[in-house]
Amino acid sequence: MAQRLSQTPEVWTPDESVTTRWVQQSYEALREKAAANPAAFWESEAKEYLWFRPWERTVDDSNAPFYQWFVGGKTNIVANALDRHLTNAHRNKLAYIWEGEDGSVRTMSFHALDREVCQFAHVLRSMGVRKGDRVTLYLPRVLELPIAMLACAKIGAVHSVVYGGFSVEALNERIQDSESRVLVTADGGFLRGKVIPLKEIADRALERAGTVEHVIVVRRTGQKVAMETGRDYFYDELMTLPLGRAGGGRCETEQMDSEDPLFLLYTSGTTGRPKGIVHTHGGYLVGVAATLKYAFEPRPEDRWWCAADPGWITGHSYVVYGPLINGMTSVIYEGAPTHPYPDRWWRIVERYGVNVLYAAPTAIRGLMRFGEAWANRHDLSSLRLLGSVGEPINPEAWRWYHRVIGGGRCPIIDTWWQTETGMFMVSPVPSMPLKPGSATRPLPGIRAEVLADDGTPVRLGEEGKLVITTPWPAMLRGVWRDPDRYVQQYWSTFPGKYFTGDSARIDEDGYLWIIGRVDDVIKVSGYRLGTAEIESALVSHPAVGEAAAIAMPHEIKGHAIWAYVLLRAGHQPSPALAEELGAHVAREMGPIAKPERIEFVEALPKTRSGKIMRRVLKARAQGLPEGDVSTLEQ
């Protein structure tokens, strides 16, 4: 029986045909049971996967907030994502269907993917990469990215994927902080018909970073690149190294402790230095696999398309690990949604018969602006479910996505989560009544609250801070080599509770409405950037004395960056200089960080203690009242 909801603002209830396993009632019962004992719920989920040795304790909170999961257990996420499928019905099923921006297609079965992964794992081992070593992956959206991630995990190395849209300084910082020994990159990548010179950017980053011993270069564009003898090798040439007959031509999967690190993923926070978020083999594997299963109810014949970049947490969890563990066939598309025309995505849905499309609101809004005729030209009837992630989906985009793409029949699974949570936290399941713009309720085993600054729950409908009150298996295990920052950032605002950095409200049906970030994190087209990082990129230009960056609402990107710059003596404001500063940020951090607008100012609003009051800048930019300015230095 469907749950009764208040009908305001607007409720959409899916047809019974969308759901298979969990009719609403049994889901409610499961949620209740899990709420009573989250650890028991996660334990029963964990039993569905392969462990070399069972765990002794499901969750250890003796050193909270440094929680541990499945303590004493041994597994490897690759044993679950690949090895296990080699002897079951998934062996010859496609794991990936990849389409290049140029229209080329490459498919790979679970068996073939395993071969590639074994081979590359062998290459990494032969380069001296051992358990615990870090490897940075800076690649375009090609199959070698999941292959390299899985190869690292297989031998117990820790991957650190740097999004291919980032540039020199962003890459350099991430290599330095992780002390990676090996960098895997490509000659270049294709985007919007243009070539991004990844190897060239990597070389410039390596001039600034010292730990990398070897660079492995995947050939994608075929352009000529500089290769340093003894340091740089082409991927395809290394992949011919014989695996040998030992182990049946396979490379052995390392048995890892549940709590051994699987990857680092750098994300922006409130300081200029990105944080290396740490995830582990055991808890992460259970968390991503289970949440994908509940939120999207995969069917064996499904074609799943998570359109996010694998270099983002969404790609880690739901292009690579979650779908593979669940034995699903994923579509990966290399390029831009509008290349060569704004129907590229709809062509892909039609061509491969995609059943589930999981994408970011910014992409939906970007396609919406071209009108519905582009989508209407294609047969999208294979779609059963749609998904949304990365920022709140505005009701207008929700309705367009639902009506034009989903034909009015597909539920929109709006999943709220974070790099830090590793897995979906708040999300509907397909049978649930939906309200456009709400991610609905926490998934089973997750407890969330919305609190006022004094730590008490806010009243219904009031805005407050979103916290998670019990540990969950895929939770971050810390900030790489910075335990204080972990405690300070996440566990000190409300002691004993995980603070998400988001504000939200809960309505009378218990549905959560995420409002946005309350810290200095900006979401531009779904990508997470810190104001402090953009500011430090600006200040690294010789003409800039001080800078402040703020988020301004933007119709397609959600938010855009506006920057205020105070020049050093001897430099004059000019449109050409503004242009140059924009290009400088793009070169240092990446094109996504380039401010939409740069204004030269004589002074920045600061508190008497010298902190920039971005709130005041923002109010001024929007022509709104400046609010409480009693701390403003006059």
Residue ranges binding ligand WTA (CB under 6 A): 267, 313-314, 388-392, 414-419, 439, 500-502, 514, 517, 523, 528
Q: 271 or 607, CB closer to ligand WTA?
A: 271
Kindly state the smallest distance separating residue 267's Cβ from ligand WTA, in Å.
5
C-alpha 293/C-alpha 308 separation (Å) is: 18
CA-closest candidate to residue 558, choices 500, 515, 615: 515
Q: Return the half-sphere exposure (C-beta side, CA atoms, 13 A cut-off) of residue 311.
A: 22
Q: Which residue's Cβ lies closest to ligand WTA?
A: 419
Q: Give backbone dihedrals phi and psi of 218, rounded to 5 degrees, phi first.
A: -80, 135
Least Å distance, CB 141 to ligand WTA, is 17
Do the Cβ atoms of 349 and 382 come closer than 8 Å? Answer: yes
Judged by beta carbon, residue 78 or residue 412, the one nearer ligand WTA is 412
User: How is residue 381 written in tokens?
Assistant: 């009837």
Residue placing its CB nearer to ligand WTA in the complex, 123 or 320: 320
Question: Which residue, 79 or 262, has its beta carbon nearer to ligand WTA?
Answer: 262
State in angstroms the smallest separation of the CB of 40 from ligand WTA.
Answer: 27
Cβ at position 521, least distance to ligand WTA in Å: 7
Between CA 521 and CA 533 the distance in angstroms is 10
Q: Is the peptide bond before 471 cis (omega within 30 degrees of 0)?
A: no
Q: Which is nearer to ligand WTA, 58 or 267 (CB)?
A: 267
Q: What is the 3-state secondary structure (H, E, C) of 414-465?
A: EEECCCCCCCCCECCCCCCCECCCCCECECCCCCEEEECCCCCECCCCCCEE
Write the DSSP symbol of residue 53: B
d(CA 469, CA 57) in angstroms, rounded, equals 20
To ligand WTA, the closest distance from the beta carbon of 420 in angstroms equals: 7
How far apart are alpha carbons 403 and 411 in whole angstroms?
A: 10
Q: How far is the CB of 522 from ligand WTA (least distance, A)?
A: 10
Nearer to ligand WTA, 78 or 313 (CB): 313
How far the first Cα of the chain sits from its last, in Å, is 62
Closest CB 530 distance from ligand WTA, rounded Å = 12
* Least distance from ligand WTA to the Cβ atom of residue 265, Å: 9
The minimum distance between CB 442 and ligand WTA, in angstroms, equals 13
Integer Cα distance of 184 and 311 in angstroms: 13
Write the single-letter amino acid at 81: A
Question: Rounded distance, CA 357 to CA 211, Å?
Answer: 39
315 with 278: CB under 8 angstroms? Answer: no
Residues 6 or more apart whose CB falls under 8 angstroms from that of 419 comprise 265, 267, 277, 313, 476, 528
Nearer to ligand WTA, 156 or 311 (CB): 311
Residue whose CB is less far from ligand WTA, 218 or 364: 364
Question: Could you give the CA distance from residue 504 to residue 467 in angstroms, rounded to a whole number?
Answer: 10
- Least distance between ligand WTA and beta carbon 386 (Å): 13
Minimum distance between the CB of residue 282 and ligand WTA, rounded to whole angstroms? 21
DSSP one-letter string for 284-311: HHHHHHHHHHHHH---TT-EEEE-S-TT
Residue 120 or 499 having the CB closest to ligand WTA: 499
Closer by beta carbon to ligand WTA, 390 or else 595: 390
CA–CA separation, 90 vs 500, rounded Å? 37
Give the residue with the Cβ less far from ligand WTA, 411 or 501.
501
The amino acid present at 7, given as its one-letter code, is Q
Q: Which is nearer to ligand WTA, 389 or 537 (CB)?
A: 389
What Rg, from alpha-carbon coordinates, does the chain have? 24
Q: Which of 165, 154, 70 is nearest to 528 (CA)?
A: 165
Q: Which long-range contacts (CB under 8 A, 24 or more apart) does 51-60 make?
A: 51/75, 52/76, 52/79, 52/255, 53/255, 55/258, 55/282, 59/471, 59/473
Can you state the percent helix, strand and coil of the chain, rounding each to 5? 30, 25, 45
Smallest gap from residue 66 Cβ to ligand WTA (A): 21
Q: Which is nearer to ligand WTA, 167 or 267 (CB)?
A: 267
Rank residues 118 and 161 by Cβ distance to ligand WTA and give the closer one.
Answer: 161
Q: Which is nearer to ligand WTA, 390 or 433 (CB)?
A: 390
Tokens at 441, concatenated: 């309720």
Closest distance of CB 277 from ligand WTA, Å = 8
Minimum CB distance to ligand WTA, residue 416 (Å):
4
CB of 390 to ligand WTA, least distance (A): 5
Tokens standing for residue 221:
């564009």
